[in-house]
Chains A and B, each alone.
Chain A
Amino acid sequence: MLKELTRLEMKKTREGFGHALVDLGEKDERIVVLAADVTDSVNAGFFARRFPERFVQVGIAEQNMATVATGLSLVGKIPFYSTYGAFSTCRCMDQIRISICYSNANVKICGAHGGISVGPDGATHQALEEIAMMRSLPNMKVIVPCDYWQSKRATMAAAYIDGPVFLRFGREAVPTLTDESTPFDFGKGVVLRDGGDVAIIACGVMVYEALVAAEVLGKQGIDCRVINLHTIKPIDRDLIIRAARECGAIVTAEEHQVYGGMGSAVAEVLVSHVPVPQEFVAVMDRFGQSGQPDELLRAFGLKSEDIVAAAKRVLKRKK
């Protein structure tokens, strides 16, 4: 298995997004796409060139982009707006809160370049807070796909999920764990590997790291369950409760601040239902910095080794 994991095809999640937009545009006239001067780096360019009449360039004006998208939704369009995750959320948080979420407007928000793995551009461009911000808003749904195909599937699905949806993508190519035929079931986590000693719940690029960690732990006689929690809101309560009951210990792994992210969302379920010990693999309340993506994941404690260590810590606390 470990050998297999090293031989996976590498593809970008943001490209899955871009390709999905074209497929969607092909079959549904209502799809419109907005971009703010980073059209090609978020892969909205495929759509822009194919359907120029349904592509809206707003210039460098993210607040306007979020609210123009809202207006487009009011006349029956299904708008996707996209820029780097830091700018598609933080820069226009008030617009998202009032015009999009409070009104339950049918707007799809895309954050490319999520996570520390954005690399050399450094802290300003490494979105590390969007999961927390977006999931705090009533009516918002939050999806963090793990690879190219899941990004494509999730984007297609988001078009037909009523109301606001936030989709998070990364910058770098990541191992492809799913394929063209893998279904995307909104709101349902996926058990990728079964096990009964500890459950690792991950999202985004950390799903791959979790699988590698499970392989390493398996060799040491520790039987890991691995869950891809691609939908963070609404959260798959039942799956988390079952994992906690059957494994008795949880590790969460995400490329996001530890406060308020996916790990926090899982902890909220655990404390109210099955309070088992949990360890967090996440960015520990600090800003990012420049570096190569893999170097950064290592420096910020987001590699499979870190998940292995967290699993061992949590097992010590397990009753």
Chain B
Amino acid sequence: MNPFNYSAEQLQAAALDVRRDIITMLVEAKSGHTGGPLSCTDFATALSFRYLNHKPSEPHWADRDFVFYSIGHVTPVNYSLLAECGYFPLKDLMTFRKLNSRLQGHPHRLDTPGIEISSGSLGQGLSIACGVAKGSKIDKHPRRVFCIMGDGELQEGSCWEAVMFAGHYHLDNLGVIVDYNKRQIDGEVPKIMDIAPLADKWHAFNWHVLEIDGHDMQQILAAYDEMLHHQGSPTVIIAHTTMGRGVSFMEGKSEWHGKPPTMEQGEQALRELGTTYDEWSSRLLAG
């Protein structure tokens, strides 16, 4: 059971808070990734606040579901959700990327409650998720495993070893969400190294494939519901998203992959998100 079980409306409100956290912590850190975290926000919020079976007060609870952010660089959304769920205080978000912080630039399992594996080298998360899913099958344990992957990341060959493995072993306790924002560091995914036709590829590896607008909360919920009911094969949700979603001057721009907003840009972004830097940083520091 998810301890929050938010409705679609509550999830939309939570996602807005997560976007505010992301901008605020990045302004404070003065470095980090903005575009990917904002494109993942809606489906990742739904996962943490409606579907994931977890206990934030007991991160190592043996019967929990596992979620792996194979794109380690989206720590802002990952950490914001962990803090908003209660794994650690919100004020920790303001230490992101600083010396001796437990919130490293890329996630470290041994530092941060709720981080299941250290990551930051692309193309490893799905294999680990496969190991957890296979181990759970061996134990006949009902846990579920989720893995969030990037579209650029899918250019790594090792991803497809894992896709093949999960299809071969019918790991229906495993679900992937692809953040298909069509952007990576050097530009547009189709121009750098095209991964299309993406749904066909997953189909060919014997996965159950769903394709949605990754910012439409109704579609997101419908897709997770189907993922959780589908049996006999793993499910992938290909979520069509927009890099930098929610901030007008970031949307669709690959230059926002790996840079933080300046204070001025942050103020503008937060205004668009209905708050100010002062208001939101005070909220975080008080939490």
Q: Contacts A99-B117, A99-B124 known; A68 to B131 CB distance under 8 Å?
A: yes
Within the complex, the shortest CB–CB distance from B279 to chain A, in Å, comes to 37
How long is the Cα–Cα vector from A32 to B136 in the complex, in angstroms? Answer: 13
The residue from B108, B118, B124, B165 contacting A61, defined by CB atoms under 8 A apart: B165
Q: When the two chains form the complex, which single residue of B109, B136, B162 contacts A103, counting CB atoms closer than 8 Å? A: B109
Q: Is B232 engaged at the interface, CB distance under 8 Å to the other chain?
A: no
- A99 & B138 in contact (Cβ 8 Å cutoff): no
Q: Do A70 and B128 touch (CB < 8 A)? A: yes
- Tell me which residues from 152 to 178 in chain B have a Cβ below 8 Å from any Cβ of chain A: 158, 161-162, 164-165, 168
- On whether A102 and B132 interact (CB within 8 A), knowing A61-B164, A64-B127, A64-B162, the answer reads no
Task: Give the docked Cα–Cα distance between A149 and B135 (Å).
Answer: 30
A56 to B132, CA, bound (A): 13
Q: List, in ascending order, chain B residues with CB within 8 A of A104's CB.
A: 109-110
Contact B135 A75 (CB under 8 A): yes
Interface string of B108-151 (1 = CB under 8 A from A): 11100000111111011001111111111011010100000000
Q: How far is the CA of A72 from the CA of B133 in the complex (A)?
A: 8
**Within the complex, what minimum Cβ distance (angstroms) separates A297 from chain B?**
36
B226 to chain A, nearest CB (A): 24
- Inter-chain contact B131/A70, CB cutoff 8 Å: yes
In the complex with contacts A72-B135, A75-B136, A98-B124, A67-B118 CB distance below 8 A:
no
Question: B121 touching A67 by the CB < 8 A rule?
Answer: no
**What count of chain B residues pass the 8 Å CB interface test?**
32
A74 touches B138 (CB 8 A): no
Bound-complex Cα distance A105 to B119 (A): 13
Query: In the bound complex, do residue B121 and residue A71 qualify as a contact, i.e. CB atoms below 8 Å apart?
Result: no
A191 at the interface (CB under 8 A from B): no
Closest to A34 in B: B131
Give B117's nearest chain A residue, CB to CB: A103
A58 CB–B CB distance under 8 Å? yes
Chain A interface: which size bin?
20 to 34
> Quick one: which of A53, A72, A79, A98 contacts B119, CB cutoff 8 A?
A98
Asked if B131 and A69 sit within 8 Å, CB to CB, the answer is yes
Interface string of A61-99 (1 = CB under 8 A from B): 101101111111111110100000000000000110111
A104 to B139, CA, bound (A): 23
A99/B165 in contact, CB under 8 A? no
Taken together as a complex, chains A and B put the C-alpha atoms of A44 and B164 apart, in Å, by 22
Inter-chain contact B124/A67, CB cutoff 8 Å = yes
Indicate whether B66 reaches chain A with its CB closer than 8 angstroms. Answer: yes
**Known contacts A58-B165, A75-B135; A64 and B117 CB within 8 A of each other:** no
Q: A59 within 8 Å of B by Cβ?
A: yes
Report the minimal beta-carbon distance from A35 to chain B, rounded to whole angstroms: 13
A92-144 at interface with B (beta carbon < 8 Å) = 94-95, 97-99, 102-105
Given contacts A71-B131, A74-B66, contact A54 B138 (CB under 8 A): yes
Residue pair B128, A53 in contact (C-beta under 8 Å): no
* Chain A residues whose CB sits within 8 angstroms of the CB of B121 once the complex forms: 94, 97-98
Partner of B128, one of A58, A61, A67, A97: A67
Closest chain A residue to B158, Cβ basis: A63
A99-B128, A102-B108 known; A32 vs B138 contact (CB < 8 Å): yes
Residues 38-74 of B at the A interface (beta carbon under 8 Å): 66
On whether the beta carbons of A67 and B127 are closer than 8 Å, the reply is: yes
- Contacts of A97 on B, CB cut-off 8 Å? 121
The smallest beta-carbon distance between B29 and chain A, in angstroms, is 21
Quick check: B138 and A71 within 8 Å, CB to CB?
no
Q: With A61-B164, A98-B124 given, is the CB distance from A71 to B109 under 8 Å? A: no
Residue of B nearest to A102 (CB): B118
Separation of A54 and B198 alpha carbons in the complex (Å): 33
Q: Enumerate chain A interface residues (CB-CB to B < 8 A).
A: 32, 53-54, 56, 58-59, 61, 63-64, 66-77, 79, 94-95, 97-99, 102-105
A-B contacts besides A68-B130, A103-B110, 19 pairs, CB < 8 Å: A58-B161, A61-B161, A61-B164, A63-B127, A63-B161, A64-B130, A67-B127, A68-B127, A68-B162, A68-B165, A72-B131, A74-B116, A75-B143, A79-B131, A95-B124, A99-B124, A99-B128, A102-B118, A103-B109
Nearest first, the 5 closest Cβ-Cβ pairs linking A and B are A71-B131, A67-B127, A64-B161, A61-B161, A75-B135
List 28 interface pairs A-B (beta carbons < 8 Å), by A numbering.
A32-B135, A54-B138, A59-B161, A61-B161, A63-B123, A63-B127, A63-B158, A64-B158, A67-B128, A68-B128, A68-B130, A68-B131, A70-B127, A70-B131, A71-B131, A74-B135, A75-B136, A76-B135, A95-B124, A95-B127, A95-B158, A97-B121, A98-B119, A98-B120, A98-B121, A99-B118, A103-B118, A104-B109
